Amino acid sequence: MKMILLRKFRFLILMVFLIACSMHIMIDLLPKLERHGNSGCSCSHTPSEEPQSWGKQGWPNKHTLRILQDFSNEPSSNVSSHSLERIPVTGDKTQAFRRLEHHGQRGDRKRQFIQDAAVTKNMPVKGSRLSALYEHPLYKRSVPPLTDEDTLFNVNTDIRFDPKAAEDQAWNTEGTLDEFSPTGELTADSYPNWLRFHIGINRYELYSRHNPVIDALLKDLVTQRITSVAMKSGGTQLKLIMTFQNYGQALFKPMKQTREQETPPDFFYFSDFERHNAEIAAFHLDRVLDFRRVPPVAGRLVNMTKEIRDVTRDKKLWRTFFISPANNVCFYGECSYYCSTEHALCGKPDQIEGSLAAFLPDLALAKRKTWRNPWRRSYHKRKKAEWEVDPDYCEEVKQTPPYDSGTRLLDIMDMTIFDFLMGNMDRHHYETFEKFGNETFIIHLDNGRGFGKHSHDEMSILVPLTQCCRVRKSTHLRLQLLAKEEYKLSMLMAESLVRDRLQSHPHSATPGCNGQAITPGIECVVRMH
């Protein structure tokens, strides 16, 4: 009798399990069947600047929501990034964004832009191509008037400069007389350049187009005396936090391979080295594209003995220094990968070059929110991400906050174009400033794995564009402009990089499209079906 009851119980459990599986399968298949008649991408519309509401009736399936939202346990997430932000009530902020997106973008003005470029097509280029580019009407659009809610910091006469309030890590308290030591009341104009850069951040941009503080800050990154060095926690490869005599800080990525070395063909994107010159070139590319979403980056030649070993208080870092058989100074630090004697960073004999990226404001002063990139790759040798197997994946993204309204989806498209021109496949997360809610730009951080293959175009990076068929109108027009011979992107990048102390290698001067800049019609950047 007991055996019969046990068998019936097992049979009941099996039936419940089968019914549950069938229900899950039906839930996953229903949205795809509903969209089956509307699959494909006609792209018959024109690129839009209008912040649109792309959310449709219904809601993405449970699996997609988990992919887009559950990232609080990711290594790169900060403490304030445990949930998606609620979409703020649209009001003045949305109106301001619409004014920004519509400003100067009427049909007759668009035609005038193209006509201006056509008139000058066969004219000889005189002087700086870069200066001519920045004089073009497309590069003179202004942001709307800023309110207190549109600026990251509200500067007034009560502001006092306390350098140690910005960071609390590894401050050098044994200063000398020649160090920057502010006293008394200071105006904003007398602040150090790194602080003026922080004060200038607003809802629409990290820095204004012709802000003289940026060039001064780039000079500071190269010339300021380094007073303290510490290893940055987290990350897969070694990075150093360097503090300067004016209390500014920057993230140092040392050279791990020669400038001419490309990503080996058998390397996965997640096991590639981070290139210091890719960080430098990414900053210049971001400026040429007029995004201005990458913090200032400059190349610097560092003395490993005097400017790292002798000033660090990080004992774990100090203990990894040694002299190689070739009598070069080397160190390897501590990190998840490539931090061992076999992967040591060696100078010539103690000089090593690297990139220095200016710090953003400390999280205690300006919280940032970390978002999982909807088109994040699987970071697995065999598995594929959902967007790689589902051609209708964008339809689910467009129904999920914050991509169902505002300009966030268009910002993702800008980031996609930026990554394609760099060949960067390592965009797993992105960040925004928490103060501005969802109506703000995406910060383009961590670009070290770009520019790895100068003669190869990784077309899978463009999948967000081909699936969503959306691109910001101003971005589309600038790409068309950069397709013209007189504004050839490779030439503009080469001219811009000459200004850097290290003058990054040619690979980073020829972004995208097999090293041929952007082909006419930008078909290699935006595949309009």
Cβ contact 317:254 at 8 Å: no
Any known ligand binding at 358? yes
Q: Where are the alpha helices (DSSP H) in 327-462?
A: 386-389, 393-397, 408-422
Rounded to the nearest 10 degrees, what angle do helices 107-119 and 473-482 cross at?
Answer: 10
Cβ contact 513:524 at 8 Å: yes
Q: For residues 240 and 345, give the distance between their C-alpha atoms in angstroms, rounded to a whole number.
A: 13
Which residue has tokens 């150093």?
Answer: 240
HSE-CB at 408 with a 13 A cutoff on CA atoms is 26
CA distances from 517 to 208, 276, 473, 528 (A): 25, 22, 20, 18
- Point out the catalytic residue in the list 272, 411, 426, 500: 426
Closest CA to 481 of 520, 514, 509, 508: 520
Any known ligand binding at 357? yes
Q: For residues 292 and 214, give the distance between their C-alpha atoms in angstroms, rounded to a whole number.
A: 11
Any known ligand binding at 509? no
Our answer to whether residue 158 is catalytic in this structure is no
Q: SS in 3 state form for 14-52?
A: HHHHHHHHHHHHHHHHHHHHHHHHHCCCCCCCCCCCCCC
Any known ligand binding at 237? yes
> What letters, b where the CB count within 10 A reaches 16 and e where it falls short, cover 321-349?
beeeeeebbbbbbebeebbeeeebbbbee
Any known ligand binding at 446? yes
Q: Specify which residues 443 forms β-bridges with.
A: 431
Q: Give the annotated binding-site residues.
A: 237, 253, 274, 357-360, 431, 446
Binding positions for Mn(2+): 274, 446
Active centre residues (catalytic): 426
Task: Give the residue numbers of the binding site for ATP.
Answer: 237, 253, 274, 357-360, 431, 446
